[in-house]
Each structure stands twice: as C-alpha cells, then as structure tokens.
A and B are shown apart, each in its own frame.
Chain A
Amino acid sequence: MGLDYQLVLWNKYKKTYDKIIALSMLLYVMVFAGVTFAFNSETSIETLVIRAFGSLAIIMLHLILIIGPLSRLNRRFLPILYNRRHLGVSMFIAAFIHGGFSMFQFHALGDVNPIYSIFTSNMDYGSLTNFPFQVLGFLALLILFVMASTSHDFFLGNLSAKVWKRLHMMVYVAYALIIAHVFLGAFQQETSFFTIGVLAIGFIIVTSLHLITAFKERKIDRTKVSEKDGWLEVCNISEIEEDRAKIFTVDNERVAIFKYDGKLSAIHNVCKHQGGPLGEGKIIDGCITCPWHGYQYLPSNGQSPPPFTEKVATYELKLDGEMVFINPKAFEEGTEVNPCKI
C-alpha cells in the first residue's frame, strides 16, 4: 500500500519492537555463553556460537509460528503479529550464523566444496541413527533464505499475494526439517532430555494452537444461515459490536459485516495485502483496517482510500426488524453499495 518502496517500513512502535528483538537476542546469547562456560569451560568459541544461535533460531521460529494462531484467538497479540516480519528476518540471521559457522567448522577446511561436503561427507541416508542431519538443516536454511529475502512489499506486489503467501507457507516445511535436523543430529551426539523435552513442548504448543484456531475457523464456516427469497439471514444486529464486524461464510466465501455510524456494510473478508482477516479488524478513521498490517478499505465500496488501489468485493445488505440479511451474490471488487441504515 504505497507509491514507492521504503528500505524498511519503520515507525515508532516498530523501532521499539526491533530494539526489543535485538536486545533479547543479545541477552540470550550472553546468558547461553555464561551458562555454557559455567558448566563446560572447555567448549570452543565456534561450538558455542553454533549452539547459541541454533537454539536461538529454534526458539524464535516457535514464537513466529505461534503468533498467527494466538492473534486469531486473542486480539491482544495483534501488535506482535504486526511486527512478525522483522522477527522472521532476525530469526533467519540467527539461523544463518548457526549454519555459516557449522559449514565453516565442519566442511570448509577440506579440499571439497563445502556445500557438496554437507551432502556427501556422510552418505548414511538409509540410517535413522546416523542420518546426515546437516542436509536437513541446509535445506531448511535455504527455505528461510527465500522467505527472509522476500519479506518486502516489492515481492508481495510482484510475485502476487497468492505466490508470496505460498512461498511463506513453506515455513512449515522448514519447521519440519528443523525438528528432524535437531532430533536426528544433536541427539545423536548429546542425548539431553532437557533439550528433547523443550523441543517436544514447543512442538506440542505450536500444533495445539494451530488445531484450536482451525476448529474456531471451522465453526465460522459451519454456521448455518437460513435463506429467504434469495437473501441469507445471518444474525441479529445486536450481535455485531460497534466499529467491528462479524464474519460469515456466504457462498463458500468469508464475508465481514461491519457496524459503524448507524450503518451496516459487508465486504469480502480477505485483505489484498497478505490475506488478513478484515472482519477481525476494526473501523479506524472511517476505514476498515486490516488487523495484520493496517491496510485500509472504505466500507461502502471496498476500495482503499486514494491514492491506493487495493479493492475487495462488496455485498448488499438489508434489515428486517433486528435481523440482518445478506445477498450472497458478490459485487465486482470496489463496487459502491449503499450502506444499510440501522
């Protein structure tokens, strides 16, 4: 939603979040180093860096993966979601330091290409106990590189929101690879129940939150609406909060019905930016504001206010007493529809 591209879209809040991220990362590495040297003073600097940044990247990846479902379950987490992009890039930097040092320490000092060496130094691909786990880490790092390097609105606009989203959904493939990398790798050498336990708890939290969110979403899709002369009766007007929306599934599409200034308007629920749920946002300065990244649309026509050009489909509403009815046939994106007066 801009007329040119900025290096980084910083504002006062994002700068604060970034400072918190940087300081937390620094603090973690320092504490990790302190604890490591306290219990094992013979640890080399390279090993310390590899372990500190590897574990840091995994913790950050877990945080990144739970922000989405948490913010769907509780609006208080939305500000963190707003800053997830920077957390993702920071996580890649931590993973890159881990991968870079690992590659240097284990593969760069011989006469074989280091990347080739990762794949061929251990050819025991059929073994579970001696699997070449570094290959999994390398592939995960490759995915994280693609994601981090395309974490900019230039790519969102030029790859299309659909392709961009698909690329970034690869984070789950990276997560699976990383889990396998850690289980098959680190535990081959060091069977620490604490590390296994922490990773298992992390996996359970990530999976549970995703499942809970999926059940919640499914409930929206399964809500029965009754039809009357081609109109669908969706809810009582009192069920919609002022300046907020209620989401319904109409004709297999999610629609958000907003109540504001004594009026009702309905638009397609999916933001054009990154597919954010517009119906979970609110009306700010007369515009429907996406809860994910603040993209805005006018409720009456689904258009971003000029000079921006994003548009979503609109729907016709009517009131029968206290009951809200929607015409399931969507208008073209950006079509002006008179708001339904309460």
Chain B
Amino acid sequence: MEIAINVFLGILGVYFLVGLLVGIIFLLKAKKFDPLMADTKKKVRFLLFPGVIATWPFLIGKLFKSKTV
C-alpha cells in the first residue's frame, strides 16, 4: 500500500510542479494561450493562475500551437 501511496503522491507532485511552471508562463504570456487575454486586465491572470495549474495538460497545446503561427 505504501508503494501505491508513494507513486500516487509522486505523480500528483510532478503534475502540480509542471502545472506551476505552465502557470508562471501563463502569467507572463497569457495571450499565447488565448488571444482574448490581450484585452483582459492583468489581475485576471492571477485569478486564472490556479486553474491553469490544475488543467495544464489541456492548455499546453495552445502554447505550442501559437508558437507555430
């Protein structure tokens, strides 16, 4: 059981660490994720920050897509 717990918490830790990294990128370059963020007040980014950490696998694709455009 302890191994399963360690694996689960390890995955959870890595997930949130990567999320934190993506969240910081979002704070700096939010419009790369969504063009509407260009006209949005900066403080909104901080409100969205925890959600970006939580859902980064769904959002990271937008970051790479915007780089190719």
Contact = CB atoms under 8 A, between A and B. Distances in A.
A158 B62 contact: yes
Interface string B31-60: 001101101110110011011011100110
Contacts of A163: 58
B58 A158 contact: yes
A336 B66 CA distance: 33
B44 to A, nearest CB: 5
Contacts of B1: 123, 125
A157 B34 contact: yes
A149 B41 contact: no
Interface in B6-43: 8-9, 33-34, 36-37, 39-41, 43
A5 B38 CA distance: 10
Contacts of B59: 158-159
B16 to A, nearest CB: 10
The range of chain A's interface size is 20 to 34
Interface of A: 2-7, 115-116, 119-120, 123, 125, 145-146, 149-152, 154-155, 157-159, 163, 167
A155 B9 contact: no
Given A4-B37, A7-B41, A7-B44, 12 more contacts: A3-B39, A5-B36, A5-B44, A7-B43, A116-B5, A119-B5, A125-B1, A146-B54, A149-B51, A152-B51, A154-B36, A157-B34
Contacts of A115: 9
14 contacts: A3-B39, A4-B39, A4-B40, A116-B5, A146-B51, A149-B54, A151-B51, A152-B48, A154-B44, A155-B48, A155-B55, A158-B33, A159-B55, A163-B58
B52 to A, nearest CB: 8
A146 B55 contact: yes
Interface of B: 1-2, 5, 8-9, 33-34, 36-37, 39-41, 43-44, 47-48, 50-51, 53-55, 58-59, 62
Contacts of B39: 3-4
Contact of A158 (B8, B34, B54): B34
B44 A6 contact: yes
Contacts of A5: 36-37, 40, 44, 48
A86 to B, nearest CB: 13
Contacts of A119: 5, 8-9
8 closest A-B pairs by CB: A149-B51, A149-B50, A4-B39, A150-B51, A5-B40, A146-B54, A4-B40, A119-B5
